[in-house]
Amino acid sequence: MTHCGLYGKRESGMNRRNLLKALALVPLASSGAMVAANPATSRETSRVTSSVKKPRYAKRLQPGMTVGLVAPAGNSPEDQHIDFGVDIIKSLGFEVKLGSHLYQRHQYLAGTDAQRAADINAMFKDPDVDAIICTRGGFGTPRLLPLLDYEAIARNPKILLGYSDITALLNAIHLRTGLITFHGPMAGQAYSDYTVAEFDRILMGAEVPTPLGAPPPFAQRRGSAERANRITRFVGGRARGPLVGGNLTLLCTLMGTPFMPEFRGKLLFLEDIGESPYRVDRMLTQLWLAGVFEQVVGVVFGKFTDVVIDGPSFSIEAVIRDRCATLTIPVVRGLMIGHVDDQSIIPVGGMAELDGDAGTLTLLEPVLRA
């Protein structure tokens, strides 16, 4: 996740030219070397996992409810961009309450760590706030994780919606409290018709089973075919489990910390933006070496947008195929998850089924209470 919606890019600090030369000398799955070493085929693991929290459910959204806006990561350069986000949420039919530090800026952060964490804690404790939506991503959300009042959050379950850098917040809160959180659109973006429909269906509706991340309908005509939103089926089969995941860069950031998600028995979903294939390869390899692919029961790749390729390179498809196609669990790519205009909402902790043959993800149980 090179920039996650901010107006600048983070350099990796590595010698890209030398790395690309090295990669050019090492074939992927065709050599058999990387596949043979893949511990995921052994289905063994040595990582000890802690107990899983009982799921907690927020209230389903209804028109006229109050939505609190917070900026846990970066901020927009101008106040009018924040005002735009306020108007977006109002246009969806809700009242809006602003975080006390929503207009703060501290270099590339939306205020200090203490200010941003205080806004999140206050919104969960505020009885007048029914749901919380983040205004944007960027950088810095992992810095807040030790500052959150998880006991208060558990006592006051509310919808928390965001994606990109907000992945750290969604997964840490679910891990520590059991609250089902939601990976999806933020306030500081325009909502397409598809995204509005997904918002209404997942956060305001109650129908299950219901599809998650299905591509929008394509108007078929002679001489045309879907191009932008194709589903790639790497491994078939079906698997059921609670959903975990989000932005690949942020999940790797959480690895080895007290806020690392529980992966055993879960369906893992991943997305990212602005990453070169070699960086995606490196991050997937980190999950692979950490035993994540031994523990999950299925993998869903959403969109990897704005891919940066500036020299000899594998494709994102080739990297995913090499890292995952030898697994014995369903693996699918292409659902509407990530930095895209037509964006679905994925409940972190929601029970779902992945069908690797059909290329579908289906929510099986309610994720909100009336």
User: Over the stretch 203-255, which tens digit does the pLDDT of each residue have?
Assistant: 999 999 999 999 999 988 999 999 999 999 999 999 999 999 999 999 999 99
Which of helix, strand or coil describes residue 368?
A: strand
Task: Give the separation between CA 200 and CA 140, rounded to whole angstroms.
Answer: 29
CB neighbours of residue 151 within 10 Å = 10
Question: Looking at domain 58-190, does it have CATH number 3.30.2420.10?
Answer: no
Q: 264: burial class by Cβ within 10 Å (0-12, 13-18, 19+)? A: middle
Q: What is the pLDDT averaged over residues 100-104?
A: 96
CB neighbours of residue 288 within 10 Å = 20
Return the CATH number of the domain spanning residue range 17-46+211-218+226-369. 3.50.30.60
Condensed to tens digits (0 to 9), the pLDDT of residues 19-60 reads 333 333 333 433 333 333 333 333 333 333 445 689 999 999
Catalytic site includes residue 183:
no
> What's the confidence (pLDDT) of residue 1?
64
Q: Give the DSSP letter of residue 223.
A: T
Question: What tokens does 245 get?
Answer: 């995941």
Question: What tokens does 97 get?
Answer: 């309450």
Q: Which of 3, 76, 164, 174 is catalytic?
A: 164
58 has which bridge partners? 368
Largest CA distance in the chain: 60
Catalytic site includes residue 31:
no
Residue 105 has pLDDT above 60, yes or no: yes
Residue with more model confidence, 201 or 22: 201
Domain ranges for the chain? 17-46+211-218+226-369, 58-190
Condensed to tens digits (0 to 9), the pLDDT of residues 310-360 reads 889 999 999 999 999 999 999 999 999 999 999 999 999 999 999 999 999
Asked if 17-46+211-218+226-369 and 58-190 have one fold, the answer is no
State the DSSP H helix or E strand holding residue 286, giving kind and residue range, or none if neither.
helix 277-289
Catalytic site includes residue 339:
yes
Q: Which of 101, 294, 339, 344 is catalytic?
A: 339
Q: Which of 3, 174, 198, 271 is catalytic?
A: 271
